[in-house]
Structure 1
């Protein structure tokens, strides 16, 4: 087990280092000058050069990379060019919306997918199975932004149960914040739950064919007890793999939904920073999202060891 954790931790560190290099180099080769964009097209070359020097843009790339990595390790993410505010404060403010949104979407995804997947597997090749698989196929085909617009038309325009967009802030109360994020979370969860439901169904069907399931039924266990007490845990390895990937995708892929619902989250901050050529914000936000994805995958590996004893025994 210790060897397993050590290997995964080394992989985590190597991936983060490699990601930081790629993110820095990709943003370095982008065309344009941040100082020129901030000063405007009519600014004199001397003024642009002075601003570039103030922002540290005239330093060698390696020096700026070392300073950036050192700042991340010490919690100093630098100062935004466009907002003239610490990047850490900007990112934290937006994370307070994006992370709860991703968590709500993931909770809805897991709830819908597990219920639908187990229901379909329990009624294999019957009407319930065919119906669930048909609905999941439709769910996979629906774009998130289009479904988000449909939700706004139904629940905001016609029924007027939820607001069509915006975020009041957590200072207005938890329930007000949850209401504002409910429709965005649901629009994100539809596609993800459709995919996860199909994975759950396949995994459960595979486990249902095992000998220990027949033994449990022979001992008089009910269908519900077999599914939830014996089958589900043994079917969770592929399901958890997809769940980890989906949560990482929800964290990194909220930019479209945040734009539809006009939510001031991390996705919109990245979009606005790209438009403003605020590379220090883009660099830190992209690195943060990449780190979240890597850490989520590391946690998934730990869950493997907790669920499947064979992982502990193999130490691979």
Structure 2
């Protein structure tokens, strides 16, 4: 077990290291510099060069990267030359917004997809099953940047149930906070609902044909008990994997939605930093997201044996 954990953690650290190298290399190739943004359009090349030298941005790429990596290992992701705010402080300040959106979207997707998959798997091929599959296909083809404006128009502008844009913090009231977060979370969750439903439906149909399910039915157990006690858990193996992967992706995939709804999260911070050529902040945010993504996936990998007893038996053998 210890060797398994050490191996997974080692591979995860290697992935994060490769991500940092790729991000630093790509940002070094981007045109423009933060110095030109700070000094404005009328700045002379000499003034831009002097500011770049003061900020240490005129050094070779490898020297800048090694210096940044040494500080990052100690938890220092640098300081934004535009705002003079430490990047880690900026991330922690905006992380609750993005994390709440990701968790709400994942929760909505899991609840809805499990219900739809159970209904579909009870009678596969029925009218209800085909109707759910049609809706699932429609949701799968609607990206968040399309779903967002549609949701805003109908539920915020026309019906007035939710605010059009903006964010209310939990300290301002839980009800107001949930109202401001609901539409963005739903916009993010639509594709996830479709993907989760397809995966779980297929696994449930296969599990319901297994001998141990037939034995449970032969003992006179109710269909609901058989479904949720005997079939759902072993069928959730692929769903948990996909949910874990998508949670890490959702933390960094809210850029468009946060921009549409004017939410002060990591996505908006990343977008504004890219536009302003704030390389230090962009690199810090991307690396933070990569650590979260890899960390979540590592935890999911290690939790397999807790979810499915077949993995424990295979490991023991």
TM-score by length of 2: 0.94
Distance 1:102 1:109 in 2: 10
Structure number with greater CO (CA < 8 Å, separation at least 6) is 1
Distance 1:311 1:95 in 2: 34
Task: Tell me the CA shift for residue 315 of structure 1.
Answer: 4.2
List per-residue Cα deviations over 1:266-296 (Å, max 9, x = no partner): 1111111111000111111111111111111
SS at match of 1:125: coil
SS at match of 2:303: helix
Partner residue, 1:96: 96
Distance 2:30 2:217 in 1: 62
Partner residue, 1:140: 140
Partner residue, 1:308: 308
Equivalent residues of 1:4, 1:312 under 8 A apart:
no
Partner residue, 1:38: 38
Distance 1:170 1:66 in 2: 40
Partner residue, 1:7: 7
SS at match of 1:168: coil
Equivalent residues of 2:37, 2:276 under 8 A apart:
yes
Aligned length: 316
Equivalent residues of 1:4, 1:315 under 8 A apart:
no
- CA distance 1:9–1:315, shift in 2 (3 Å): farther
Residue correspondence of structure 1 range 102-181 to structure 2 within 5 A? 102-181=102-181
Residue correspondence of structure 1 range 158-237 to structure 2 within 5 A? 158-237=158-237
Partner residue, 1:285: 285
Equivalent residues of 1:2, 1:315 under 8 A apart:
no
Distance 2:286 2:50 in 1: 28
Partner residue, 2:242: 242
CA-atom RMSD, angstroms?
A: 1.7
Task: Tell me the CA shift for residue 240 of structure 1.
Answer: 1.1
Alignment gaps of 5+ in structure 1? none
Equivalent residues of 2:258, 2:267 under 8 A apart:
yes
- CA distance 1:313–1:68, shift in 2 (3 Å): farther
Task: Tell me the CA shift for residue 44 of structure 1.
Answer: 2.9
Task: Tell me the CA shift for residue 241 of structure 1.
Answer: 1.6
Distance 1:38 1:265 in 2: 23
Distance 1:146 1:262 in 2: 16
List per-residue Cα deviations over 1:187-214 (Å, max 9, x = no partner): 1111111111111100101111111111
Distance 2:222 2:5 in 1: 38
Distance 1:20 1:313 in 2: 38
Distance 1:125 1:168 in 2: 44
